[in-house]
Amino acid sequence: MNRHEPVAIVGAGIAGLTAALSFARKGISAEIFERTAILSEAGAGLQLSPNATRILTTLGLLPQLQNVWSEPQAVTLVSGVSLKTIASVPSGAFARNRWRAPYGVLHRADLQKTLLDAVKANPLCRLHLGTEIDDTTQHAIAGMIGSQPRLVVGADGVWSKIRKQIEGAGKARFSANVAWRFTLSETEAPVFFDTTKVSAFLGSGSHLVVYPLQRARNFNVVAITSGADTGQSWDNSLPPQTSRQRLLEAFAGWHAQIIDMLRHAVEPTVWPLYQVNDGAWNQGENVVLIGDAAHAMMPFAAQGAAMAIEDAFELASFVAAGKPLAAFADHRKSRVARVRSRGAFNRFAYHARGPVRLGRDLVLSMRRPESLAADFDWLYGYEPED
């Protein structure tokens, strides 16, 4: 392929924008197509582990991110019933030293804006907003941009249209879990919410993740519970009282202060959690999937954004080196499978009941923080293909 042919990227989320910057770093121009006319990101907070921030640093984005994120000093597991700390993994300066990259938490919109600003400033990147791509053939896209794209990258999320055009691709399936999301100001938050930590409160069949959002001076709260499928958009159909009641039912038996916080929090939004099962990621050398379009996963390992960032960076490396897309897919699938496995383990451990929960707490309480951190070396210390 001609190195001067652009790459066409469908989707201007985290995966698509990171891919554009990664291709530009290799001297390959990118045409990014986004169906919405104005970029806005649903959701609230985001965790960026060292395997993701290492790549964002390589792309030159660390100074901007440090202005809008905070680096927690620890990631803790806490009993949702007693509020006692079960285990703690050090972060902050420890993360920078052990994994050679920071662990940051920030608002998702701040990450997207950082990526977007970098794309707009890069002469090799061109963004087309309000542009729907229904025909992914190179010929059709060539008519839109005036040149033949060397590759079409599907970075259009869990409901990917590009994925539907790849023979043997995976399908999006409801996980039987939902995520309730809201924020609390520091003044409204319970006293046990810690601005220096990411805290995961664990209970039977549900868990609650809390961490600070520096720029807004509030806490991001995500509650993961079992629940019904509400479709492909944020659920605004339930009456507020019904929505609140379902959330409270999922956390019945938890500590009274958590129940009180959930009862009085600003109206939470509920999002059905979908996964994309394993399948083909590419159509020959013409089309390839990255991020949620390829492998949307449950949030139990907090790696959704990180895997999208890794995909984007490594895809550019493989393409620039002239390696086949099948090699890229095989390489990434093994990594994603291991992350999925870790997420499945966390799901079991976080939502454990009865004797299993007691055993979990005992085992974790006996391990030193540095020993727990070593369990993440394969994940956080990952060196991407470059």
pLDDT digits (tens, 9 = 90+) for 119-165: 999 999 999 988 887 766 667 777 787 788 899 999 999 999 999 98
pLDDT score of 235: 47
Q: Within 10 Å of residue 105's Cβ, how many Cβ atoms?
A: 22
The domain in which residue 13 lies consists of 7-70+109-171+275-349
* 233 in a structural domain: no
The dihedral built from the CA positions of residue 222, 228, 234 and 240, taken in this order, carries a sign that is negative
- Report pLDDT digits (tens) over 333-384: 999 999 999 888 787 777 766 777 777 777 777 788 888 899 999 999 999 9
| pLDDT at 185 exceeding the cut of 80 | yes
pLDDT score of 230: 64
* Structure tokens that stand for 55 in this block: 């790549």
* 193 in a structural domain: no
* 262 in a structural domain: no
Q: Is 355 exposed, middle or buried (0-12, 13-18, 19+ CB in 10 A)?
A: exposed
Longest Cα–Cα distance of the chain, Å, equals 64
pTM as predicted? 0.93
CATH number assigned to the domain comprising residue 309: 3.50.50.60
CA-to-CA dists, residue 21 to 32, 86, 106, 190, 238, angstroms: 11, 40, 20, 40, 40
* 94 in a structural domain: no
Ramachandran area for residue 310 (φ above 0: left; ψ -120 to 50: alpha; else beta): alpha
* 156 in a structural domain: yes
Q: Give the pairing type, strands 197-203 and 74-79.
A: parallel
Quickly list H helices, 193-286: 240-250, 256-264
Question: How confident is the model over 176-194, as a mean pLDDT?
Answer: 90
Asked if 104 and 385 count as a contact pair (C-beta separation under 8 A), the reply is: no
Phi, psi of 376 (to 5 degrees): -105, 5
Most confident of 3-12, 142-151, 230-239, 291-300: 291-300
Count of structural domains within the chain: 1
Would you call 129 helix, strand, or coil by DSSP?
Answer: strand
* 77 in a structural domain: no
- The whole-angstrom separation of Cα 357 and Cα 45 is 28
* 15 in a structural domain: yes
* 39 in a structural domain: yes
| pLDDT at 307 exceeding the cut of 50 | yes
Select the more confidently predicted residue: 347 or 193: 193
Question: How confident is the model over 49-78, as a mean pLDDT?
Answer: 96
For residue 259, name the pLDDT band (cuts at 50, 70, 90).
Answer: very high
